Amino acid sequence: MPIPRLSIIVPTLNEAEGIANLLVSLMPLRQRGHEVIVADGGSIDNTVELSCPLADVVIKAPRGRAAQMNAGVALASGDVLLFLHADTRLPPQADELILKHLTHPACGFTHLTLDPPHYDPAQAMRQDGLINPEPQKPDKSNEFASTLEAHFCQEYLWGRFDVTIEGKHPFLPVVAWLMNHRSRLTGIATGDQAMFVYREVFEAVGGFPNIALMEDIALSKKLKAISSPMCLKARVTTSGRRWEKHGILRTILKMWRLRLAYFFGVDPIRLAKAYGYEPHND
């Protein structure tokens, strides 16, 4: 079986300050046969011009991370999709780490399973050497989990990295620790953790829902109905600029409020505006 290729998809919006450094850091992956796709959401700086000589594909897409990443996937040729924010850096040999731990969905799709494997937090905690919690029961109220017709015979079909938050504030390592361990307990990944997934699995769940915010959480919920996430201990490094700009505690409380509101069904457009992001209306 040929070695799977990665398609690294980078959504951008006015990232001229750092996009060249990011793309240069991805050059070794391109040299090993992987591809980099920049999906720009309408930058008014020179993000696109800086990206063109440093990426395999640069496209203009409707504004919004979900729409931009889905547009990137449409042009991707790799077997595994890796979604990377423009302010996040991958660890060395990220491709080897991903391909070593993901298991190819070799048995394909069937129409036999109405209850896909649920996420087991005990298994995730074992990866980190922590005490095993009581495994959670399958969520029978999850409509997707109860009606999904696609079934994969292997365990790890998607995942994410642990994260380090770069910055001067002494509390940022604590925030990163909380993010990493919350993700292990819940099976939910965030965009800052550089999510990766087999393309056919991504397509089976319908890709990112076209919503203005929380697209990473929505995708995680669908993916963990198929398999547990591979929670890699290797760390991506993401910028702490929003934490330091708006305040650590204020940012944490704001994100908790937004996620709680999302859980109770508040329109993601309203959440995006509350977050400080104005969705683009075409």
Strand-by-strand arrangement of the 158-166 sheet: 57-60, 35-40, 6-12, 80-83, 196-198, 158-166, 230-239, 88-89
| pLDDT tens digits, 239-275 | 988 777 777 777 777 777 776 666 767 666 666 565 5
Per-residue pLDDT at 149: 39
Full domain range(s) for residue 162: 6-275
Left, alpha or beta for 206 (phi > 0: left; psi -120 to 50: alpha)?
left
**Model confidence at 17, in pLDDT bands (50, 70, 90)?**
very high
| Average predicted confidence (pLDDT) for the chain | 81
Whole-number Å distance between alpha carbons of 223 and 218: 9
DSSP-assigned letter for residue 52: G
In a domain, 282, yes or no: no
Per-residue pLDDT at 2: 76
Per-residue pLDDT at 71: 97
pLDDT at residue 78 is higher than 90: yes
In a domain, 281, yes or no: no
Whole-number Å distance between alpha carbons of 187 and 124: 8
Give percent above pLDDT 70 in the chain.
Answer: 73
pLDDT at residue 222 is higher than 70: yes
In a domain, 20, yes or no: yes
Which tokens sit at 179? 């993010």
**Of 75-79, 110-114, 118-122, minimum mean pLDDT range:** 110-114
Per-residue pLDDT at 118: 46
Q: CB–CB of 159/101 below 8 Å?
A: yes
Whole-number Å distance between alpha carbons of 20 and 122: 40
Whole-number Å distance between alpha carbons of 177 and 173: 6
Per-residue pLDDT at 134: 43
| pLDDT tens digits, 156-215 | 999 999 999 999 888 999 999 999 999 999 999 999 999 999 999 999 999 999 887 789
| pLDDT tens digits, 18-44 | 999 999 999 999 999 999 999 999 999
Per-residue pLDDT at 264: 61
Which tokens sit at 266? 């508040």
Whole-number Å distance between alpha carbons of 158 and 136: 20
**pTM for the whole thing?**
0.78
Per-residue pLDDT at 262: 61
Per-residue pLDDT at 121: 46
Q: CB–CB of 229/196 below 8 Å?
A: no
**Model confidence at 108, in pLDDT bands (50, 70, 90)?**
very low
In a domain, 280, yes or no: no
Q: Specify the number of domains making up the chain.
A: 1
In a domain, 138, yes or no: yes
Q: The domain that contains 89 carries what CATH number?
A: 3.90.550.10
